[in-house]
Amino acid sequence: MAPSQSFELLGAADKFPTPPTQSGFNIHLKTSPAPTSRQTAVPKTFNMGRELQKKKNRSSLNKVTRRKQNIRKRPTVTGNQLVAAQWDKSQTLAQNYARLGLTHRLRSATGGNEKRPSQISDASTPPLGPQEARIKRAADGSILRIEYASDLRHETLGASLEDEEERPSTTTTKETTLVKALKEQMGLGLKKERVQSDREMDWARRLLEKHGDDYQAMFWDRELNLRQQSVGDIKRRVKKWREGQAKAA
């Protein structure tokens, strides 16, 4: 019984061999390599639009920018021809308007009309009386000059006269000429005669043919007087139509 049992055990062992131990054989196991630091790192994501924008910023080409307005550019006069003929490009708009007798601002001035330094009195020094004088001293106490009230009044009067003499005498003539020419061009003071339209003339003719000189009936006519013109307005329009017919005849 023993040999048969050993044979069956051997047969079973041949069918299902036990794995060899490490002491009897060199075991070669197929394993995957250990991941490196580069493989374990999370891959970097790229934003395509952002990268293109960075590339544009690094480019040496000039960027398309909005051109700044040239604030020193003189205005081109494209209005009235009379003003353009006397316009001085070397002066500012306010200076040209003042020279031509016009105003560039209808409201009151908010600046630019300051007095000259000679016309400004020192607020720290009180004005002198008729019989008073003021002594001007240097830093060491020596007397520089003595100012009398009469002398100061003469100086102020002389400065104002000099300012009037410095003004060009041709300014008044140019202003008068330009203003007159502009008034003549615009027709100020001339009453323009109103001309009746063909529709209004036909309307007045139909009223006269229907009602004659009865303006009260014209006023109550619902078919012709749709806009409810008053009696006085109808009289004026009919009178205007009659005058036009008389001139045409």
pLDDT at 220: 95
Does 20 fall in a domain? no
Alpha carbon distance 65, 217 (integer Å)? 73
Q: Taking every pair of C-alpha atoms in the chain, what is the biggest distance, in angstroms?
A: 165
Does 111 fall in a domain? no
Does 42 fall in a domain? no
Q: Pick from 202, 227, 230, 195: which is nearest to 215 by CA?
A: 230
Does 27 fall in a domain? no
The radius of gyration computed from the CA coordinates of the chain, to the nearest angstrom, equals 54
Model confidence band, residue 240 (pLDDT cutoffs 50, 70, 90)? very high
Model confidence band, residue 237 (pLDDT cutoffs 50, 70, 90)? very high
Residue-wise pLDDT for 15-35, tens only, equals 555 555 545 555 555 555 655
Does 190 fall in a domain? no
Angle at which helices 231-248 and 198-211 pack, to 10 degrees?
110
Residues present in the chain in total? 249
CA atoms lying within 13 Å on the CB side of residue 190: 8
Residue-wise pLDDT for 159-203, tens only, equals 554 554 444 444 444 456 888 888 887 776 667 778 899 999 999
Q: How many domains does the chain have?
A: 1
Residue-wise pLDDT for 195-230, tens only, equals 899 999 999 999 999 999 999 999 999 999 999 999
Model confidence band, residue 85 (pLDDT cutoffs 50, 70, 90)? confident
Model confidence band, residue 6 (pLDDT cutoffs 50, 70, 90)? very low
Pairing of strands 143-148, 133-137: antiparallel
Does 56 fall in a domain? no
Q: Pick from 192, 185, 184, 189: which is nearest to 80 by CA?
A: 185
Alpha carbon distance 83, 73 (integer Å)? 19
Does 232 fall in a domain? yes
Which range marks the domain in which residue 226 is found?
Answer: 198-248
pLDDT at 19: 55
Alpha carbon distance 53, 80 (integer Å)? 51
Model confidence band, residue 10 (pLDDT cutoffs 50, 70, 90)? very low
Does 216 fall in a domain? yes
Q: Are 160 and 174 in contact (CB under 8 A)?
A: no
